Chain A
Amino acid sequence: MIKECLLETKGIYKSFGPTRALVDVSIQVCRGEIRGLIGENGSGKSTLSSIVAGAQTADKGEMFFKGEQYLPKGNVDAQKQGISMVVQEMGTIPGITVASNIFLGNLNQFSKSGILSISKMNKAAKKILTEIGVPEINPSMFIDKLNFEDRKIVEIARAMYTEPEVLIIDETTTALAQKGRTLLYKLIDKMHKENKAVLFISHDLDELMSVCNNITVLRDGNLIDTLEKEDMSIDKMRRLMVGRELKGNYYRSDYDGSYGKEVVLDIRQATTGVNVENFSLQLHKGEILGIGGLSDCGMHEVGRVAFGIDKPLTGEVKLIKDDVLISNPQVAIRNKMGYVSKDRDKEALILNASIKDNITLPSLPILENGFIITNKSESELANQGVDQMEIKCYSPEQRCNELSGGNKQKVVFAKWIGNGSDILILDCPTRGIDVGVKANMYQLMYQLKKEGKSILMISEELPELIGMSDRILIMKDGLIQKEFARSEELSEQDIIDYMI
């Protein structure tokens, strides 16, 4: 087959304030090609795809489409020219019908002398929905009636009705279950057969391996490499994304599993209104205690109770050393406890505040000199956190909402480490962060353990529970089902049976 170039970018540059999102990126996508695009958060892959889709403009560089110079004036223009995109975040507009969502911004074709023909529009919508394989979605229905997945499918329909020659899919599959995925893979296959092209962005490396012909890796805005099908391997991709060798000891390498005798945190017969019944656990000095289970098994609530955010109806949470009952987060923090919420953006961080403000927040009483907290003392603490956690930022004054997910999580950790916490309750500490940062977090946790601090790690990811914990408690319906000790032989399969 002769490879005819369909889309080309030449020397694309883009920066947001001090952050360089793309540096001299040139790619070529041929007809019939399914191109994967990978990189850590902040690597520039979404920026690149949105420039191609016309949603943003490059600072510098050229693009060519079907051999001609391509200068989209916006999303809609790009779509008219033949490049459509399905975006990562929710892109449907509530309060209007499915059909209106599909033809958003292109309603003119159904109107005659200013009057919109709803029936024509619905018919066209029905046609496209049937084509992509979801005839069951009714075009005249309000979009709000659909579930999350079906709404995403409507977005796919919106991208497809113009019969694009290049389809860009930005991390859409994370929102899709099996039905949607099958649908999408079928679509991709069809595009491939029709000699069109797909740009496919995903975190799921396995998925990319099976779907794509080629995979382009971006890191810090730079194009690192493009791998042909035969060169692809998960390890290689990871290495290219992170930029260094990730060694075998991604998790801790020892299988010692020992910890101090001393019990530091004691939860006794705690019952809450939701999900937790007569729950007891003991966390020891220098222990990483994992709690696993399905999302609604009650483990997240255990974390909240342990930190005093939720008060148990009966039972108690006690710090053994000083004989203190944890009744609210203030008491917990005063007694050197820290808590990383599973919902980073909503609970763990003040997004529009600076890195410094976030890091110093729980430590302000410590920084106080009389009543006064000086700028200097705050900056010292913040700088220390930024250095220790290797937070990528141009200054501690930078706002947190400008950071990538992994960097945000580093800020959250810096908050509690700066506070000198002895007991850390980590609820999904690596959720939504990249492998590179994950590895850092695991190293940090292990180091903390060695320093004699205690960690209660609540996680939905079995590999990290197995890889990091000294002990694992598996919960189901608010009760502990099983306790596992650290062991090399322990496998996910052993655990799953107790979860479901």
Chain B
Amino acid sequence: MKKFKKSIALLLGLIMVIGSLAACSSADNGSKDSNEGNKGGFDVVTNEDSIYPAASELDPYSVGVLLWGYTDQLGGSVKSNLEYLGKEFNVNFSFVEALTMEEYISGTENLIQRGVDGILSLLILPSMIEKAEEAGVYLQCILNESTDPDTLKLIAESEYVTGMVTENDYECGVAMVDDLYDRGMRNIVWIAPEAGMAANHDNRVRGIEDAIEKHDDLNVLANYRGTEQAEALQSFAATYPEMDGIIVTGGAGGGTESIYQVMQSEGLNGQAVLATIDIGEGTGEKLESGELGWIAGGQFPTTGIAFAVLYNAMVGTPINDTPEKTIYRPFMVLQSKDNYDNYMKFVEGSIPPYTGDEIKALIKKFNPEASLELVNEYGDNYSIDDVVSRHKDLFD
């Protein structure tokens, strides 16, 4: 019996060692060569004529990332995109999961202890700023922004907070309503997670509500905030046969998949059009069938832009002297199957929407023209057509 137990322990030890080796190799080298969608990672485009320095000529840096996770669609794409940039910039990324505020602070402490030069984080809290300053580590907010006046003041005063780059959720909410209105829908419902669950969803709702105000002849039949979104839609369908437009603020709470299912089972096809956020499985089909009229997504490249802002600070050529002002970027909007096919090829395909060279163009050290204005210009142009026109040569 004792022998048996010993051998089990040995086996476990072995598994752990193998596991750890795998962990190190994937974290350090990231030697992935598959190109099945974003989760398999992006290919490095070796551009012989590049006017920018190659990764091998650059000083190595280490950057920590704090995000809710890296296994969902968005988190996975963020990770792949950053790993791709890591190869282009000779930067080693450490990805850490954090859900609660405490975990963001602990994560910051641990990353600093690990010796990172900069941190990309979903949340920026006062004590994180404090710790970053003590350690001389740069801190950049991604996919989110702080709105607390005290925190913003700390950010403004800090030498080490480099900025906040995120999607404009409010504008996205407005756009969803406007699109359905322009299509001629007058009887709509909207569905979102509980208030207070996620700031970005709350912002979208604010946009939705404000846009609804604008249109006098737009009828809001009902709305629901919570996790039982499919069930809510089911009862709306039963109660309001005149319903012709549905807005869902995004994948939380069972995903868009269950919404599609309800639309199918309740026979809403052809009657009501859906506008939603977070491109995922079934998006192409539904755009083709017309059930889905408008969908926003493509957020992950934002983290590449945020990285550029951070990298500028790390190499001593900061471009953002107003870090307390959020750099907003639009969502990418898809409205047809054609859009979707292009999205799969040019955004989630083997080459990310911004190549290494395109990001390097935002680094003042490499490109004297680089500035906050250029960053904003990238954002203003961001759309599916923009990516296609920039990258179609790469795919020949």
Are chains A and B touching directly in their complex (CB below 8 angstroms)? no
